[in-house]
Amino acid sequence: MAKYGKAAQKNVESTMRRRKKGTLKSGSGRKVKSRKQAIAIALSEAREKGAKVPSRKASSRGKSKRGAKKR
């Protein structure tokens, strides 16, 4: 069974076009140049729209800043 739905695939395609064109912006308003960041934005937008996309991994959400330790 497929992990990602057709709607998510279309969203990634359009986002990659926006990145290549130079109109894709991140949450802070800066231009997105990284391919990985563009895909992450596309999947996030697809999730919001209700497309079939697996949920984010817990490990990528809970990472702390470099050098900071939790006590």
Output the DSSP codes for 5-58: -HHHHHHHHHHHHHHHHT--B-TTSPBP--HHHHHHHHHHHHHHHT-S-PPPPH
Q: What is the pLDDT of residues 4-32, one digit of tens each?
A: 999 999 999 999 999 999 999 999 999 99
Q: What is the pLDDT of residues 39-64, one digit of tens each?
A: 999 999 999 999 999 888 877 666 66
pLDDT recorded at residue 58: 73
